[in-house]
């Protein structure tokens, strides 16, 4: 059979030659034939696509769910490749083949063929989700670890073009490992286990605080600050991981780490006892909930058809999460708080940071934010107890005046001479060792030059701040990813987060720090 592309090139070339001979004396532009393959015509529909469309019209397909129809069609088209790029936009909440028109369908299979060759290009996000649905259902990759690696590889490549994929793909990767019984090490990076472990540290610290609490009506024993430094460090790290206020990144912690650590531990213990005695939930449960079994939908928000009932099983993921399947129904025993940072815990740690700065006359105070009265009173009491303990246990300062050492040695030599008898003087050598002069330290060391600190903001971060200061909406493509970086870099400037999210999820400047940010920029 003749090569279609070669025939088209010959026809076009012959047309150009003929036009050139007819108008050799002057430059004239004439029409040229537009020749295409039949497969490139808008009305053309390849036979595999026709068969896939016909599958949805079969009598047995009427009883299928949308998920099963998608999987049956995906298996039919697993090896199909097309060559008809689609320049339009395709958007759907639950994208499947049936909601695509013919041009969109051919465009998807053209894009998928390039992805399988390693050419991941930007396209309609719904196309990306359809490709992920195929891999989740074992189409295009062997079910098990090969399909897991294919999902992970495509997600890592495409998230550079569309970061919103993270919201869905990370849980899908965990579900895929659990559903197929793969090694837990594959899912742990995507399962928020650090969050769950930190909550476990808080729970154990709470138990210890309640066990050491005095009996009701009993006198509270003085606190032994620093008795278990390792436990105090673990608790502070866990609080910093779970809180919206990063107390370990504050200026006060860098200058007074022992004070921050000891007061924070004392405040946590007091709050644990306060919640235990006067609230229906303990402190940790009120912040993050309790570990309990709840129904779990595998591959939520994805088009997934298992094809049959999963066998009964129990899958332990790390120390804090257990999945169980009974009769095809999945449950997950874990914390169900979403894995985010706690604003309520952040309020407590910021109040500790602010009031401790005031008590220490720290030169960089934090602004008042209307903290509850019971909380401020509790923190003030723990700060007073700590400062009293620190003063009582302060090391004794001994100062030695080195300039007087020479005089002391001379007086000692005179006294020794006066105590010698005549016989001892005759036996003693005439030479007397010279007393070396003791050099006294001077304060001539040059003072360090004051550093001119730089904010260290990238161009996109500075642009986002300038947009918000000018009242313009954020123009940055990944504004949500820049907020954490900006808060971290400006924490030293104001000692607090300067950006937060409003009800619509858009970044806004905290009103208290607008002037500080404007003057810094």
What angle is formed at CA 502 by the lines to CA 499 and CA 505, rounded to 5 degrees? 100
Q: How far, in Å, CA of 373 to CA of 293, rounded?
A: 36
Tell me the C-alpha distance between 54 and 364, whole Å.
72
Cα 202 from Cα 239, distance rounded (Å): 8
pLDDT of 490 higher than 60: yes
Which residues make Cβ contacts (< 8 Å) with residue 479, sequence separation at least 6? 464, 506, 507
Element (H, E) at 323: strand 321-326
pLDDT confidence of residue 421: 63
Within 10 A of 149 (CB to CB), how many other CB atoms are there? 13
The predicted model gives 303-328 an average pLDDT of 93
Q: Residue ranges per domain, the chain?
A: 4-35, 47-190, 193-214+234-288+341-391, 459-520
Distance between CA 416 and CA 410 in Å, rounded? 10
Measuring CA to CA, which residue among 312, 311, 330 is closest to residue 321? 330
Q: What is the pLDDT of residues 244-274, one digit of tens each?
A: 999 999 999 999 999 999 999 999 999 999 9
What does pTM read for this prediction?
Answer: 0.64
Terminal alpha carbon distance of the chain: 70
Rounded Cα distance between 439 and 436, Å, is: 9
How far apart are the C-alpha atoms of 500 and 515, rounded to whole Å? Answer: 16
Mean pLDDT of 513-520: 83
Task: Say how many C-beta atoms besides its own lie within 10 A of residue 375's C-beta.
Answer: 17
CB atoms closer than 10 angstroms to residue 84: 18
Q: Are 478 and 163 in contact (CB under 8 A)?
A: yes
pLDDT bin (cut points 50, 70, 90) of residue 344 is very high
Range name among 163-167, 411-415, 438-442 with the lowest pLDDT average? 438-442
Q: How does pLDDT run across 51-85, given as a tens digit for each residue?
A: 999 999 999 999 999 999 999 999 999 999 999 99
User: Out of 227-231, 336-340, 366-370, 428-432, which region has the weakest mean confidence (pLDDT)?
Assistant: 428-432
Tokens 């499947």 — which residue? 96
Q: What integer pLDDT is reported at residue 408 of this predicted model?
A: 75
Q: How far apart are CA 320 and CA 195, in angstroms?
A: 10
Is 477:512 a contact under the CB 8 Å cutoff? Answer: no
Would you say 265 and 208 are in contact if contact means Cβ atoms under 8 Å apart? no
In this predicted structure, the answer to whether residue 295 has a pLDDT above a threshold of 70 is yes
How many residues in the chain? 521
- With CA atoms as reference, report the closest residue to 129 among 143, 118, 115, 146: 115
- Residues 388-409 have pLDDT tens digits of 999 888 776 666 766 666 677 7
């Amino acid at each position: 059979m003749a090569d279609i592309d070669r025939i088209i090139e010959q026809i076009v070339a012959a047309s150009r030659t003929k036009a050139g001979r007819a108008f050799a004396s002057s430059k004239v532009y004439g029409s040229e034939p537009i020749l295409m393959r039949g497969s490139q015509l808008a009305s053309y529909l390849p036979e595999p696509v026709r068969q896939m469309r016909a599958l949805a019209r079969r009598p047995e397909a009427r009883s299928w769910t949308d998920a099963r129809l998608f999987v049956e069609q995906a298996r039919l088209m697993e090896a199909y490749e097309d060559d008809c790029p689609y320049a339009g936009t395709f958007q759907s909440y639950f994208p499947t083949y049936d909601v695509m028109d013919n041009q969109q369908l051919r465009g998807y299979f053209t894009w998928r063929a390039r992805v399988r060759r390693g050419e991941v290009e930007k396209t309609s996000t719904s196309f990306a989700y359809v490709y992920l649905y195929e891999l989740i259902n074992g189409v295009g990759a062997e079910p098990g670890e090969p399909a897991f690696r294919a999902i992970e590889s495509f997600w890592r490549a495409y998230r550079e073009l569309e970061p919103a994929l993270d919201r869905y793909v990370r849980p899908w990767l965990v579900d895929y490992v659990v559903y197929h019984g793969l090694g837990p090490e594959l899912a742990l990076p995507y399962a928020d286990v650090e969050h769950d472990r930190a909550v476990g540290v808080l729970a154990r610290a709470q138990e210890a605080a309640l066990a050491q609490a005095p009996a009701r009506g009993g006198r509270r024993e003085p606190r032994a600050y620093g008795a278990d430094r390792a436990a105090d460090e673990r608790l502070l790290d866990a609080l910093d991981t779970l809180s919206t206020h990063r107390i370990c990144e504050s200026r006060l912690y860098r200058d007074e780490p022992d004070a921050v650590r000891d007061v924070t531990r004392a405040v946590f213990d007091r709050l644990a006892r306060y919640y235990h005695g006067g609230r229906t939930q303990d402190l940790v449960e009120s912040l993050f909930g309790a570990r309990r079994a709840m129904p779990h939908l595998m591959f939520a928000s994805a088009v997934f058809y298992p094809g049959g009932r999963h066998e009964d099983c129990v899958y332990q993921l790390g120390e804090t999460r257990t999945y169980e399947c009974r009769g095809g129904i999945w449950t997950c025993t874990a914390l169900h708080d979403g894995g985010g940072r706690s604003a309520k815990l952040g309020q407590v740690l910021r109040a500790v940071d602010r009031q401790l700065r005031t008590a220490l006359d720290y030169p960089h105070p934090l602004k008042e934010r209307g903290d509850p009265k019971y909380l401020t009173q509790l923190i003030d009491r723990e700060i007073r107890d700590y400062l009293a303990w620190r003063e009582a246990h302060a090391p004794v300062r001994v100062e030695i005046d080195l300039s007087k050492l020479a005089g002391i040695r001379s007086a000692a030599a005179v006294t020794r001479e006066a105590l010698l008898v005549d016989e001892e003087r005759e036996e003693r050598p005439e030479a007397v060792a010279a007393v070396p002069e003791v050099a006294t330290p001077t304060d001539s060391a040059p003072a360090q030059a004051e550093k001119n600190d730089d904010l260290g903001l990238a161009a996109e971060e500075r642009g986002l701040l300038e947009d918000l200061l000018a009242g313009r909406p954020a123009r940055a493509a990944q504004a949500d990813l820049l907020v954490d970086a900006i808060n971290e870099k400006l924490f030293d400037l104001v000692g607090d987060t300067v950006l937060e999210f409003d009800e619509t999820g858009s970044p806004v400047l905290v009103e208290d720090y607008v002037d500080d940010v404007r003057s810094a920029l």
